[in-house]
Amino acid sequence: MAKRRDVLKAGAVAVASTPAIFGGAAIPRAAQAQLCRPEGIRSPLTEPDSPPVRHYHEPLYITPAMSEVDPATLSPPPDPNRHQRYDEFQPVKHYVQRMTEGLWNYHEDLSVLNPLGFGSLAWMFNGATPGETLVARYGEPVFIRRYNDLPMTEDALIPFGLPYTTLHLHNAHTASESDGWPGDFVGPGEYWDHHHAMMYARNDPNEALASLWYHDHMLDFTATNVYAGLSAMATFYDDIDSGDENDPNPDALRLPGTYGKYDVSIILHDVRFDQFGNPAYNVFDTDGHLGDLITVNRKVSPYLEVEPRKYRFRIYDGGPSRFYELGLADESEMFVICNDGNLLEEPVSVTSIVLGPANRHDVIIDFSRYSVGQSVNLLNIMEQVNGQGPTGRRLEGPDRMPVMQFRIKPLEGPDNSRIPDFMRKLPHVNLNEVVAEREWVFDHDMGLWTINHEFMDPTKVSAAPRQGTAEIWTFRNAGTSWAHPVHVHFEEFQVLEWNGRPPTGVLRSRKDVATLGPGDSARVFYRFDDFLGRYPIHCHNNVHEDNAMMARWDIIPNGGDDDD
């Protein structure tokens, strides 16, 4: 066979006589196209399938609570000067996390395929993904030191993502420097300190947050780094939502409790695996990324043994791009008690819940209607064929995607938990406090994802609300076929109008993600208090986020310079 250089010379000669045809005259174009159609031209429908796995084969991984470290062992010690209000909220609990690359057993059938050893490649916290849950309590400030012990890029085995990390505690009311600003990343060998004051926003207990998560927020690499494994959950308790179903406090809600037992956090990530059982990712598809297997706490369609009693499940959509409608196979009742992890005023009875990326719902499922030995599956019935968003159709019969299985085992003791009629009052909205209205338009143009026709520039301040004020923000999806889960850091909102109508049911709530379908708009109420600094607003389809669908806004001191 001719050497490549010779081929090029021959081609050059040929071009002289047959312009615009690079030596291809002898072959019909169609044949050439068939010959070397690259894998690169892939659509979500032609992505290679994951290797076959047995569903409901792996037990659910229940993420343990983080374990405290002695602050005296932190070297160097925490630097109070780099945290807002550190002296007021001195940490009482200290944690250390190390991020590493290693192998994680997503599923036995995938793990055995890997020539590296048993498991699938993953980026992990303290050796696991999801990392340990931050189980915290209001009034008990937290300090977390996170070391990036990932390999340098050239040594990383995971073939996507960048081993530079910044960790965002999603939904938390946290000072900017501990929030996981996308520019606050550290590389291999470095660490970053996070201080969470564990204060209610505005010191109002009605602002309590319940089900949060932490995840990587690296500029341009959030989708891939989270996909590689850098996400985990957080549970905040307080006096009434105390995690204790036997709580003697007369005001306690006594929701199904004890973290990890009857109060179970589950995060969904849809993952596609390659022939060696490692996560696969197509970075060239800027619409989004869909996995073909649903993982729950990074186990592929696992099972959980449950007692015939009430459980609280905190269900998270960990992204990057998949929307879910989740229901039990027998379409039986669940009670939604939280939207985006925050208690509703009243439980809402449903047979399915809809989640966009980063959305959370806490539901109570009462398994006492089943008998020991029975099982019931949790299924996804939302059809989605690409990363842009759902098609609007529902999956039926065998097309429904397995998520997890509950297997009923004998009751171990009395179920003293309750589904209260009333939980937590929504914080007061006083529209007279509103000093400004802003609109954020999410759109797509020539391959670009934009907010207000601009793309992420971390040096540009797109809005600068004053501390101590309130504003009305409108999020509008100007696209015709895309869905955008809009997320704003630091503060959560209450919906005033959704597509022009006041919210009802589960939408009458405090939220941090507004999942907008094509043409949707949400008008919401915000207040800006307690801390200063820069925060992002972005699409939480992380693939859109990484494709510059993000903007910076700052909370500035009241009385400071007006740069609107």
Residues near Cu ion (CB under 5 A)? 484, 539, 541, 544
Select from other proteins, Cu ion, none the partner in contact with residue 484, using the beta carbon and a kind-dependent cut-off of 5 to 8 Å: Cu ion
Cβ proximity to Cu ion, 168 vs 544, nearer residue: 544
Q: Rule CB under 8 A: say whether 35 interacts with other proteins.
A: yes
Q: Rule CB under 8 A: say whether 14 interacts with other proteins.
A: yes
Q: Which two tokens stand for residue 222?
A: 């959030």
Q: Tally DSSP H helices, then E strands, for the chain.
A: 5, 32
Count the site residues for other proteins by CB under 8 A. 76
**Parallel, antiparallel, or unpaired for β 279-280 and 263-273?**
antiparallel
Least Å from the CB of residue 86 to other proteins? 12
Three-state SS annotation for 118-139: CCEEEEEECCECCCCEEEEECC
Question: CA dist 425 to 99, 177, 208, 346, Å?
Answer: 39, 30, 10, 9
Q: How buried is residue 28: exposed, middle or buried, by Cβ count under 10 Å (0-12/13-18/19+)?
A: exposed
Select from Cu ion, other proteins, none the partner in contact with residue 544, using the beta carbon and a kind-dependent cut-off of 5 to 8 Å: Cu ion
Nearest-angstrom CA–CA distance, 78 and 370: 51
Q: Rule CB under 8 A: say whether 17 interacts with other proteins.
A: no
Select from Cu ion, other proteins, none the partner in contact with residue 220, using the beta carbon and a kind-dependent cut-off of 5 to 8 Å: other proteins
Select from other proteins, Cu ion, none the partner in contact with residue 374, using the beta carbon and a kind-dependent cut-off of 5 to 8 Å: none
The 10 Å Cβ neighbour count of residue 489 is 24
Q: Rule CB under 8 A: say whether 45 interacts with other proteins.
A: no
Cβ proximity to other proteins, 16 vs 72, nearer residue: 16
Interface characters, 420-449, with other proteins (x: CB under 8 A)? -------------------------xxxx-
- Indicate which single residue of 17, 40, 75, 88 sits in contact with other proteins (rule: CB under 8 A): 40
**Could you tell me if 301 and 56 are in contact, meaning their C-beta atoms sit under 8 angstroms apart?**
yes
Nearest-angstrom CA–CA distance, 495 and 43: 36
**Could you tell me if 288 and 86 are in contact, meaning their C-beta atoms sit under 8 angstroms apart?**
no
Q: Three-class SS of residue 147?
A: strand
270 phi and psi angles, rounded to 5 deg:
-90, 125
**Could you tell me if 50 and 270 are in contact, meaning their C-beta atoms sit under 8 angstroms apart?**
no
Select from Cu ion, other proteins, none the partner in contact with residue 546, using the beta carbon and a kind-dependent cut-off of 5 to 8 Å: other proteins
Select from Cu ion, other proteins, none the partner in contact with residue 131, using the beta carbon and a kind-dependent cut-off of 5 to 8 Å: none
Least Å from the CB of residue 484 to Cu ion? 3
Strand partners for 533: 555
Least Å from the CB of residue 175 to other proteins? 9
The 10 Å Cβ neighbour count of residue 329 is 15
Select from Cu ion, other proteins, none the partner in contact with residue 173, using the beta carbon and a kind-dependent cut-off of 5 to 8 Å: none
Q: Rule CB under 8 A: say whether 6 interacts with other proteins.
A: yes
- Indicate which single residue of 60, 136, 150, 162 sits in contact with other proteins (rule: CB under 8 A): 162
Nearest-angstrom CA–CA distance, 43 and 285: 8
Question: Which of 51-59, 129-137, 150-158, 291-299 is the region at the interface with other proteins (rule: CB under 8 A)?
Answer: 150-158
**Could you tell me if 482 and 389 are in contact, meaning their C-beta atoms sit under 8 angstroms apart?**
yes
Cβ proximity to other proteins, 153 vs 249, nearer residue: 153
Sequence-distant (6+) residues with CB within 8 A of 446 are none
Question: CA dist 93 to 29, 143, 378, 530, Å?
Answer: 67, 6, 36, 21
Q: Rule CB under 8 A: say whether 520 interacts with other proteins.
A: no
Nearest-angstrom CA–CA distance, 347 and 256: 14
- Indicate which single residue of 546, 551, 553, 555 sits in contact with other proteins (rule: CB under 8 A): 546
- Indicate which single residue of 65, 92, 283, 328 sits in contact with other proteins (rule: CB under 8 A): 283
Interface characters, 121-140, with other proteins (x: CB under 8 A)? --------------------
- Indicate which single residue of 147, 164, 311, 473 sits in contact with other proteins (rule: CB under 8 A): 164
- Indicate which single residue of 59, 139, 183, 189 sits in contact with other proteins (rule: CB under 8 A): 183
Nearest-angstrom CA–CA distance, 233 and 263: 13
Select from Cu ion, other proteins, none the partner in contact with residue 14, using the beta carbon and a kind-dependent cut-off of 5 to 8 Å: other proteins
Q: Rule CB under 8 A: say whether 76 interacts with other proteins.
A: no
Q: Rule CB under 8 A: say whether 385 interacts with other proteins.
A: no
Q: Rule CB under 8 A: say whether 458 interacts with other proteins.
A: yes
Q: Rule CB under 8 A: say whether 480 interacts with other proteins.
A: no
